[in-house]
Structure 1
C-alpha cells in the first residue's frame, strides 16, 4: 500500500524580542519517504514565503513585512516531526528549490543500509531516483559521505562507509550523472546522528549523506 499526499507547513520561530518570524524560503518543498514491511508513504511539505510580524508597535496591534529568515533543515525537520511524521521514517529528500539554494555541506538527502551491508535498498533507490531527476536539471556537484554504526573496529567501519558512498555513486553514474560531479568519502563510525546503544539508533547511523 502506498499513500501519497501533500500538506502545507507554516512554522513559527519565536525570538526573545517582541518579533516573530515565519519560515521564509520561497517555492521549496521537503519530501519525506517512509517504508517498512507493511506500508510505504510519501509526504510533501511546502515551505511558504516568510513574513516578519511586529507585535504591539505604537498604535498598531500588528505590522507584517516580508522577512529574510531562512529556515534550516534541522528547524524544518522538527516541524515535520511535530506535524505527525514518525521519527523512525528512514529516508528523506529535499526537493525543488532546496537543491538549488542549499549551501555547500548541507545534507540534502540520506539513504540507509542494512547491517554490515553496502547494497542499496529499494527505498534508497526511490530516494536516489528523485535525486537523479533533480540533478539532470541542475549543475550542482555532490559529496557522498558514508557512515556506519559502531559495531566492529574503526578501520573496518571506515572502509564500510566508503563502500556505501561508492555504492550510491555507482548508482547515480549508471543513471546518467557525470562522475566528475560526485565525490565519495567516508566518516566511518565517527559522525553518528543517533546513539549506538540500541538497534533502532544504529539503523540511523548506517547511512550515506548526500550534500
Structure 2
C-alpha cells in the first residue's frame, strides 16, 4: 500500500513538473510571438519614417528650383494658419504641405476676385509640384479677410477669393473633385487687425495639400 502511495506521489510530482514545464514553454512561445510582432511593427515604422524623409527631401529639392516668390509662399504657409484652423485641418486629414497667397502677391482690387499675374505665377509652379509628385491628394483652399466691413460681407469675400483660386487650379488641370474651398472671413486672423500692416497680413488665401 505504501508503495502505491509512493508511486502515486511520484506520478503527481511528475505531472506537476510536466505541467510547469509545458506552461513555461507556452509562456516563452507567447513572449516570442509578442516580441516578433513588436519587431515587425518597429520595422514597418522605421520604413515609414524613411519613406517620409525621402519624400520631404524630394519635395524640398523641387521647391529649391522654384522662383523666389513661390519659395516664399511655401515658407510663409507655416505661419499663415491660426491655431484653431490648423487643428481643424489636422483633424480632417494628413497635411503634406501648403502655400499662402498673401495680400502682397494676390493684389485683389476692391470688389474684384481676379488673380494677379504674381499669384497666377505662384499657382502655376504649385500645380507643377503637385502634378510631378503624382499622388492622390486633396486640395483645400481657405479664404481669409481682415476685419474691414461686416462679418457677412467678409465671409462672402473670403469665399469668392478662395473660389477664384479653385477655378484657376481646375483650369490648370487639377480635377474638380479634388478641390474644395472654405471661407473663414475675418474669423481666423493670424495677427490682431489693429494696424494697416496687420490687416494686410490677414488678407490671404491658404492652399493646403492633404493626403
- TM tier, smaller: 0.5 to 0.7
Q: 2:118 aligns with which of 108, 120, 123?
A: 123
CA shift, 1:180, in A, is 0.2
> How many aligned positions are there?
128
What per-residue deviation string (whole Å, max 9, x for no partner) do you get for residues 76-111 of structure 1? Answer: xxxxxxxxxxxxxxx5126xxxxxxx9635761111
Aligned to 2:98: 108
**Inter-CA distance 206–165: structure 2 relative to 1 (3 Å threshold):** same
> Following the alignment from structure 1 to structure 2, what is the Cα–Cα distance between the partners of residues 179 and 207?
22
CA shift, 1:196, in A, is 1.3
**Inter-CA distance 123–153: structure 2 relative to 1 (3 Å threshold):** same
* 2:142–2:181 contact (8 Å) kept in structure 1: yes
Q: Which of structures 1 and 2 has the bigger CA Rg?
A: 2
- 2:128 corresponds to 1:133: yes
Q: 1:166 aligns with which of 157, 163, 166?
A: 163
* 2:70–2:125 contact (8 Å) kept in structure 1: no
Q: 2:73 aligns with which of 92, 95, 116?
A: 92
Query: Residues 65-76 of structure 1 correspond to what in structure 2 (within 5 A)?
Result: none
TM-score normalised by the chain length of structure 1: 0.53
CA shift, 1:201, in A, is 1.2
Q: Secondary structure at the match of 1:203?
A: helix
> Following the alignment from structure 1 to structure 2, what is the Cα–Cα distance between the partners of residues 25 and 134?
17
Identify unmatched segments of 5+ residues in structure 2: 1-51, 76-89
Higher strand share: 1
Identify unmatched segments of 5+ residues in structure 1: 1-23, 33-39, 45-90, 95-101
* 1:118–1:163 contact (8 Å) kept in structure 2: yes
Aligned to 2:172: 175
Aligned to 1:192: 189
Q: Secondary structure at the match of 1:196?
A: coil
> Following the alignment from structure 1 to structure 2, what is the Cα–Cα distance between the partners of residues 205 and 106?
23
Aligned to 2:26: none
> Following the alignment from structure 2 to structure 1, what is the Cα–Cα distance between the partners of residues 148 and 96?
27
Q: Secondary structure at the match of 2:193?
A: coil
> Following the alignment from structure 1 to structure 2, what is the Cα–Cα distance between the partners of residues 184 and 118?
14
CA RMSD of aligned residues (A): 2.8
What per-residue deviation string (whole Å, max 9, x for no partner) do you get for residues 184-207 of structure 1? Answer: 110000001122112221111111
- 2:42 corresponds to 1:29: no
